[in-house]
Chain A
Amino acid sequence: MKKLFWEPLLWGMGLIVYLLFFSIAWSGTNYSLPPLGSFFSPSEGFWQNADPVQSPSPKKLNLPVSEQVEIIYDQHAIPHIFANNISDALYALGYLHASDRLFQMDFTARAASGQIAEIFGEQALDYDLEMRRKGMSVMIENIASKWQVDAEVQNHLNPYLEGANQYIHSMSKRNFPIEFKLIDYNPTPWTEEKIASIIAYLNHELTFRHEDIQASLTRDKIGRNDFEILFPQRHDDIPPVIPNGWFTENFETSTDRNQDIGKSDVFHSIQEPWSFSGEDLFSLPNLLNGSNNWAVGPGKTKDGSTIVSNDTHLPLTLPSIWYECHIVTPDHNFYGYSIPGIPAIFIGMTETIALATTNVGCDYVDWYRIQWADREYEIYTVDGERKEVQWRVEDIYIRNKPTHSDSIPYTVFGPAPFTQNEEHPLRDFAMHWLAREPKGDLMKSLTQILETRDFDQFVEISKHLSDPPQNLVYGDRSGNIGLRITGSLPMRKDKADGKFLKDGSTYDSLFNQSIPFEELPTTFNPGSGFVASANQISTGSDYPYFNVGTYSLDRGAYLYNALEKMDNMGIKEMKNLQTDPTSQKAIEMLEVMLPLLNTDQLSEGEKELRIRLLEWDCRFTHNSMLSVLFKKWEKEFLTLTWDEFQNSDSTHRFKKLLKPNWKTTLHLTRSNPDNPYFNIVATEQKESAVDIVVLSYKNAVDSYLKWEEEHPDKKWVHYRNSSIPHLTRIDAFGLPLLEGDGTGSALNSIKETHGPSMRMIAQFTDEERLFYSALPGGTSGNPGSKYYDHRLDDYQKGRYLSTYVGNSPDPLYEKAVKTITINPK
C-alpha cells in the first residue's frame, strides 16, 4: 500500500519537473535556449515557420479597408498592391511589411532606440546606453512630434499602422517569426514611435560620422602645416557631384569663399596630454555607407530613352534592408524599394518619374569642450553666463534584471555623454549631432513623392527632407534628368569649421545654420547629358559654401569618366556599370607605383608578378589573384609610409590618429618623394617614396605567395571573405561566403559585410516603362521560407530581374506565387 502511494507521487513529481524543465528558458555564458517544450512543439514552435514550398491557395480576408484590395506576389515573389485609393494601399503595405518582415521591424526599432537589453538581457546594456547617450531617443521624439500637428502625414501613417497592427493582432504564437520564438519574446503593436525609430536608424547609419577628436589630436602631433598637406579636403582630380558650370542657379551670397583654415578654429589644440583610444568614442556606422546613382538623358542613350540607375551600399543583412514592392491605385503607380516599418517607397519609378539616391558625406557631428563651472556637471558657462544643464533620464529595461536609469546632462551644444565616468578622457565634452533636432520631416517628403510629376514638384518636396542629406537623382518620361543635393547641409564658416574639436565656452562656435533651401546645389538637364553621384565631394569651387566631411575618393571619378565617355547607352551598359569590379584606386595606385619598381632590385618571381600587374585591368573579379596581391601591396605601402601614425606617442599617449588616405599618399609620392614621412622611423637609413614602393612590393609578394601556398584553389572572393549575416548574427540564418565580383573601391562595391543592398535600373522609352532589379536576399524575412534568399544567386552572378510595373493586375495572375484579396469588412 505504501509502495503504491509513492508511485503516483513520483510520477507526479516527474511531471512537474518535466513541465518546469521544458517551460523555462535556459541561459548560460555561452548559450541561450528558449523554452524547449514550446519551441519544439510542432503545433506552435519553430516547425510552424517551415513555410510550404508549394504556392498556397488564394487567400481572402475581410478587413477594415474601404474598397477591395488585391495583393499579388508575382513569379519572383515581389508583392504588387492594387487598391482603389492610397489609404487602402498603405493599409495593405503595413499588412505586408508585418507579415513578411515583423522581426526585422521590431529589432531595427529596438536597435535604434536602445531597447535591445529588454530582449537580450544585460549583455546588451552597453549597446543601449551608447544609443541613448548619442541622443537617439531624443531624435525619435523629435521626429514623431512633427507628425502630431500634420494632418497630411497622419493620413498617411494611420492606415499603414492599422494594416500592420491588424496582422500583429491576428497572430497567435505559432505564427510568430522564428526569431521571436528563439529569443522568447512577444511582438508588440507597431506605433508612430517605432516608425520614427527606423527613420532615426537611417539617420544614424548615414550621418553619425565624426573625426573631430582624432583630427585635433593628429594636428597637435604633426602641426598645422603638415595637417593641411596630409589631410586636404579636396582632391582636384575627383569631379564633384555637381561640377562647376552645371548649376541651375546663379548664386548670390555673401559668404567669403576665400576664408582660410583657422577662422572657426578658436580652440585649436587639445592643450593637455590625455589618453585616448578609439574605444573611448562611440562606435561609428560603417564609413562606407554610400551608394552609386546616375541618370542618362535621351542624348546619351541609343533609343532616346531616359535611364535612372541606383545601387545603395549599406550593411548587407538577411533579411535584406529593402522590401521591393509595387503600389497601384487609379492615381498612382509606384514601383520600388520600401523599408519594412516605414509607410513609403523611398526609391523607384512612378508613371512619370524615377528617383535614385546616394548619401552626402558632410560632417554632421561636432564635439565641444564645455567650460564646466562645477565638478558635478550641473553648471557650465557660455560667454561668461552661468547655465544649468537639463537632465534627461533614460530608463533601460533589462531582461530579468531591474531597470537601469541613466542620467545624461544636456548643454546648449548637446548631450555630454561621458560625464558619469570619472576616468573618461572625453568627460568634459558635449556632442552636437545635427540629425538629433531635424529641421524637416523625411516622412512628409516621402508622403509627397507619390504625387510628384515633374522636376519642380520634386524640388518642392525635397524642402522637407533635412536628414539624412542625400544626392537625389531624378529622371522623367519626358527626357529630363536632374540632381539635387538635399538636406540640412551645414553652413560651415570656413573649410575647417567642424573638422576639429570646438570651443564650448562661447556661442560663436555653436553650429546652427544650414545652407538655405534656395541655394542647395541643383542641376537640371546639364549639357553633359548625364548626372551621377557616388558619395564624392558635393560641389566644386564655384559653389559658394564649404564642403566639410568624409567623401569617397574612388567610385565618383570612375563613374563620371565612364559616363562621360559612353554614348548610345542601353540597359546592358547600365548593368555592366553597376556590376563593374574595376577599382579606381588600383588604377591610380598602380599607375604611380609600378613605374617606380626598379627591376634590378627584384627577384625573378617578383619581376614576373610585376609584369602581370602591368597587364592587369584592375578588375576585382571573383577568381582574380592579382586582386589579392594588390590589396596586400596597398596595405603594406600605406602601413610603411605612415608608420609615424601607428604607435602611441610618449608625450601624448595617443592611441588613435587619423591616417592620410591613399590618394594623398600617391600625390605625395609623385610630388615630394623625399618627404620625411616616407622615412621608416625604426630603421637607420633614410627611405624615400621609391624605397617604400619597392620594400612594400617585396613584402606584399612574400605574403601573397605564402597565402597562395596556404590556400590552394582560393581566389579573390575567399580573400575578401564577404558574407551576409543575419540581423542578430545567427550564423545559420546568414550567408557565410558572398561570391561574385567586386571590391570597396569599385562601382560594384562589395566589402566584408557591406555592399550594394539593391540594384535598380529604371527606363522610360517612348512606349513603355521598364524596370530591372537585383536584391541580395528575398521578400520574406522567414529563414524557413524559400523566398528568404531566393534572389541571392542572381545577385551574386550580377543578373537582374525584369519586373512588372504595369497598371493592371491581370498579367500577374498566371504565374503568381501567392494572392491575397482583402474585402471591406
Chain B
Amino acid sequence: MRKISIVILSLVTILGTLLLGQLFPWWSFLFLCLPLGYFSKLKPLNAFSVGFFCLFAAWFLHAYWLDDQNAGILSARMGQVMVGVNSFGLMVMTGAIGGIGAGIAFALGSSIKKLKK
C-alpha cells in the first residue's frame, strides 16, 4: 500500500511538473512539491529523496526527449559552452538542478506537517 502511494505521489509530481512547466515559470514545481511533501506522510529526509528523484526524473527525461528529437545537435554545442560536458552530463546537471529544489520543497512540506503533529 505504502509503495503504491509513493508511486502515485511520484507520478503526480512528475506529470504535475511537466504540466506546470508548460504554463508557469521554471520554479512553479516548487508550489506543487511543497503541499505534496506536506501530505505525503514521509519523514523529511525520505521526502527529500522522493522529491529529488521525481524532479530529477522529470527534468532529465524531458531534456532527454528534447535532445533525442534534436539528434543531439544543441547539446553537443552547449556541452562545449559548459566547458566540455557531454550531452548526458548536461542532462544529469539539468535533473540535479530540478531535483535539489524539489527535494528541499518536499522536505519542507513534510517537516511542517511534522511540526503540526
Contact = CB atoms under 8 A, between A and B. Distances in A.
Contacts of A50: 66-67, 69-70, 73-75
B74 A18 contact: no
Nearest to B117: A4
A23 interface: yes
A182 B77 CA distance: 13
Interface string A552-564: 0000000000000
B30 interface: yes
A783 interface: yes
Interface in B60-74: 62-63, 66-67, 69-71, 73-74
Q: Which of B30, B66, B114 has the most CB of A within 10 A?
A: B66
Interface in B89-116: 93-94, 97-98, 100-101, 104-105, 107-108, 111-112, 114-115
Interface string A44-59: 1111111111100000
Contact of A41 (B59, B77, B79): B59
A567 interface: no
Nearest to A38: B26
Contacts of A54: 69
Contact of B26 (A8, A15, A43): A43
A733 B81 CA distance: 8
A24 to B, nearest CB: 13
Contacts of A173: 25
Interface string A9-44: 001101100110011000000000000111011111
B27 interface: yes
Contact of A7 (B21, B62, B78, B115): B115
Given A15-B105, A733-B77, A8 B98 contact: no
A732 B78 contact: yes
Nearest to B82: A732
B115 A4 contact: yes
Contact of A44 (B25, B69, B107, B114): B25
A18 B80 CA distance: 26
Contacts of B70: 50-53, 784
B46 to A, nearest CB: 13
A8 B115 contact: yes
Given A731-B80, A732-B80, A783-B77, A44 B101 contact: no
Q: Which of A11, A14, A783, A786 has the most CB of B within 10 A?
A: A11
A41 B98 contact: yes
A783 B59 CA distance: 22
A785 interface: yes
B74 A11 contact: no
B108 A784 contact: no
A46 B73 contact: no
B63 A7 contact: no
Is the interface on chain B under 10, 10 to 19, 20 to 34, or 35 or more residues?
A: 35 or more
Contact of A784 (B22, B74, B97, B114): B74
Contacts of A182: 81
Interface string A759-790: 00000000000000000000000011110100
A149 interface: no
Contact of A42 (B21, B71, B81, B101): B21
A793 to B, nearest CB: 15
Contact of A732 (B71, B81, B115): B81
Nearest to A52: B69
Contact of B93 (A14, A40, A784, A788): A40
Q: Is the contact region of chain B dominated by helix, strand, or loop, or is it mixed?
A: helix
A151 interface: no
A11 B44 contact: yes
Nearest to A46: B78
Is the interface on chain A under 10, 10 to 19, 20 to 34, or 35 or more residues?
A: 35 or more
Contact of B114 (A7, A19, A46, A51): A7
B97 A37 contact: yes
Contacts of B44: 7, 11
Contacts of A22: 97, 101
B9 interface: no
Nearest to A36: B97
Nearest to A5: B115
B18 A4 contact: no
Contacts of A5: 115
B95 to A, nearest CB: 9
A471 to B, nearest CB: 38
A36 B100 CA distance: 13
A54 B73 CA distance: 13
A730 B105 CA distance: 36
Nearest to B71: A53
A784 to B, nearest CB: 3
Contacts of A12: 108
Contacts of A36: 97
A53 B73 contact: yes
A564 to B, nearest CB: 47
Contacts of A41: 21, 26, 59, 94, 97-98
Contacts of B78: 46, 732
Given A14-B104, A15-B104, A18-B101, A786 B73 contact: yes
A771 B80 CA distance: 37
A173 B23 CA distance: 11
Contacts of A38: 25-26
A311 B97 CA distance: 48
A731 B78 CA distance: 10
Nearest to B19: A43
Interface string B10-22: 0000000010011
Nearest to A9: B111
A234 B115 CA distance: 91
A18 B104 contact: yes
Contacts of A44: 21, 25-26
A11 B21 contact: no
Contacts of B59: 40-42
A808 to B, nearest CB: 33
A23 B93 CA distance: 16
B21 A8 contact: no
Q: Which of B62, B80, B108 has the most CB of A within 10 A?
A: B108
Contacts of B81: 182, 730, 732-733
Given A7-B44, A51-B73, A53-B73, 7 more contacts: A4-B111, A12-B108, A15-B30, A41-B26, A46-B74, A46-B78, A50-B70
The 4 A-B pairs of least Cβ separation, nearest first, read A43-B21, A784-B74, A732-B80, A41-B26
26 contacts: A4-B114, A7-B44, A7-B115, A8-B108, A8-B111, A8-B115, A11-B111, A14-B107, A14-B108, A15-B105, A22-B101, A37-B26, A40-B59, A40-B98, A41-B59, A44-B25, A44-B26, A48-B66, A51-B73, A52-B70, A53-B70, A53-B73, A732-B78, A733-B77, A783-B74, A784-B73
